[in-house]
Amino acid sequence: DTAVSQTPKYLVTQMGNDKSIKCEQNLGHDTMYWYKQDSKKFLKIMFSYNNKELIINETVPNRFSPKSPDKAHLNLHINSLELGDSAVYFCASSQDSAGFGNTIYFGEGSWLTVV
Amino acid sequence: AQTVTQSQPEMSVQEAETVTLSCTYDTSENNYYLFWYKQPPSRQMILVIRQEAYKQQNATENRFSVNFQKAAKSFSLKISDSQLGDTAMYFCAFMKHVPQGGSEKLVFGKGTKLTVNP
């Protein structure tokens, strides 16, 4: 069983489109995250939710909107896609606050290509 | 703000040999956590090992061990008896401690691409 699962794994879409990436974790964790890995493989946090509440919101264009319907799901919706949005997006989760000493577990990533 | 530096963009090692990957970090925090993640070609981010800053003893997980030097803000990863399956990008990451109920982010280095040669 995959602990943190994301769909789709691969997505190719045209500029200007709107797309969503879904994430689900079956670990019973309270905190979920979205990280972005750019073309140079640099990983950076975008958002963090704890029990459906937005906790971390890095400097991300407001075209990106996370939604957490329950603590097991954290979806990422992207409006008006741009070429620079091409990246691998990782969903992750941890038990309560990761900064309290808990490990962050990552999904397999969703590879988004904007053409 | 915390920063993590991995000074070796690429490294290679022969199978069965030992290799050490370097990582330094900058922080004014006293209580924090350090991690090494592995990203094979499949792109999955896999936790290799973690270290709590308050622990003096270096963490060990089978063939993987760290050399944690808190004063020097250094956190290197040693891989013993390297295997072909160890070929991957390795990321060093830092997280500061926050009280329960808060949330904190992982700050990653830029990664070291390790190739294990047969």
CB contact under 8 A, B98 and A35: no
Distance (Å) from the C-alpha of residue B104 to the closest C-alpha of chain A? 5
User: Distances in Å between the alpha carbon of B46 and those of A106, B24, B50, B87?
Assistant: 7, 20, 12, 13
Q: Angle at CA A66, nearest 5°, toward A64 and A72?
A: 155
Q: Which residue of A42, A48, A100 is in closest CB contact with B105?
A: A48
Distance (Å) from the C-alpha of residue B54 to the closest C-alpha of chain A? 11
The residue ranking higher by pLDDT, A100 or A31, is A31
Asked if B73 is an interface residue toward chain A (Cβ–Cβ < 8 A), one would say: no
Average pLDDT, chain A: 91
pLDDT beyond 80 at A46? yes
Tell me, what's the pLDDT at A54? 87
pLDDT tier at B102, thresholds 50, 70, 90 = low
Asked if A100 is an interface residue toward chain B (Cβ–Cβ < 8 A), one would say: yes
CB contact under 8 A, B104 and A98: yes
Tell me, what's the pLDDT at A100? 63
CA dihedral sign, ordered B70, B72, B73, B79: negative
Q: What is the pLDDT of residues B19-78, one digit of tens each?
A: 999 999 999 988 899 999 999 988 889 999 999 999 889 999 999 999 999 999 999 999
